[in-house]
Structure 1
Amino acid sequence: MQLTNKQVSRFKMALFVVALLPFIRLVSFVFLDKLGANPVEFITRNTGDWTLYFLCFTLAVTPLRKLLHMPWLLRCRRMLGLYAFFYAFLHFMTFLWFDHFFDVQEMWKDVLKRPFITVGFIAFVLLIPLAATSTNGMIKRLGGKRWQLLHKLIYVIALLGVLHYFWMKSGKHDFSQPVVFAVIVGSLLLLRVWWRWSGRNSVVANGN
């Protein structure tokens, strides 16, 4: 399926608005007092969930592009990755602001004491250089190969995000959603491994 540049631009604009809707919904819930008995927990879980959703959306671009023969989808991947960072930033700021009232020392104690927070914090820190190098200018500065190598961190970040969610839910023995995320992320990564492996085998076969 091929789209013109104008159609792709319209699609990206619509996608930008749709991706912002969870944030708009969350803000409206704040003003309408619909956050429930524990507003901080609601915001934390909501922003954390959407971070994982957008990490999955970002990882899904390449498989969908190949399977559906839609090369223009690649032009949406950067925006989806930035939205993953946006919701991760909101998730982190909720933790820093409402849980620790910007007391960095207390935040560090919490990060070092609880493994699921440690893993989540590492994933957020790894997202920062990806967001910072998302511009065309940074791609030119780093060079295509180095930029691509850096942005392969998304695979590690997604796995850490799933582990963070799994450990967080383990205290309540509720593994249903973490398992779903694990299956989705695992499948998206295994597809890449399969394509790389089959591609190398094809090269070897053709060489022989």
Structure 2
Amino acid sequence: MAGKRKIPIKPFVFLVCLLPAFWLVYGIFTGTLGANPIETILRDLGDWTLRFLLLGLAISTVRRLMGWAWVMRYRRMIGLFAFFYAFLHLAVYIGIDHFFDWATIWKDIVKRPYITIGMTALLLLIPLAVTSPKIMVRKLGGARWKKLHKLVYPIAIMGVVHFYLLVKADVREPLIYGGILLFLLGERLYRRYGESFQFAKSIR
């Protein structure tokens, strides 16, 4: 009896991850991005960068809390999409918002803390994207690869801070993202230190 065919989930997840980009392209051609389309594009690309960063972190938490080992097969893809949207965010900022005016861009980076933080986070994302393929795990060695990819934690923190400083007035959305990140980091800290503390307490 022939085995059941597996439904190709990864291509579907890939297409779903591309939907925000498709939506922005659709908005450009239909003129539905509002009075300031460049600002809308920049904001949406930044939002999706942060969402994918948090989703990538959430995958490990879901695996541990729910026992869903299968979600781990999508973590690398999600991480790369975080970099994809971050890169588009930077490209629009440099090429469209500032028309490659490097002097003005440099002044922004130096004078505006939220841009300084955002640019730093993007630069830190680059080595994570470059070393994402499995072959890089073998080349770097598992321990060094894991140590390098812990950069995702400060990157996510900087992403939330970047968003918080950017919006200035209505900070509800960045605070929601901050709360999610706090939970994800708290779960990791508890797993690393809390269980050891409980074990040590039980054997007293």
Unmatched runs of 5 consecutive residues or more in structure 2: none
Report SS of the residue matched to 1:90: helix
- 2:162 maps to 164
Give CA-to-partner distance per residue, 1:153-204, whole Å, 9 cap, x none: 100000000000000111xx11110110110111111010011113323664
Shift of 1:94: 1.1
Q: Letter of the aligned partner of 2:143 in structure 1? A: K
- 2:24 maps to 26
| Structural mapping, 1:1-208, within 5 Å | 7=6, 10-170=8-168, 173-201=169-197, 204=200
Shift of 1:206: 8.5
- 1:3 maps to none
Report SS of the residue matched to 2:8: helix
Report SS of the residue matched to 1:35: coil
Structure 2: how far apart are the matches of 1:50 and 1:108?
25
Identical residues among aligned pairs (%): 44
Unmatched runs of 5 consecutive residues or more in structure 1: 1-5
Shift of 1:107: 1.1
Report SS of the residue matched to 1:158: helix
Shift of 1:99: 2.1
Structure 1: how far apart are the matches of 2:203 and 2:123?
43
**TM-score, normalised with respect to structure 2:** 0.92
Structure 2: how far apart are the matches of 1:78 and 1:205?
37
Shift of 1:104: 2.5
Report SS of the residue matched to 1:174: coil
Structure 1: how far apart are the matches of 2:62 and 2:198?
22
Structure 2: how far apart are the matches of 1:70 and 1:13?
20
**TM-score, normalised with respect to structure 1:** 0.91
Q: Letter of the aligned partner of 1:140 in structure 2? A: R
Structure 2: how far apart are the matches of 1:195 and 1:39?
44
Q: How many residues align?
A: 200
Q: Letter of the aligned partner of 1:100 in structure 2? A: H
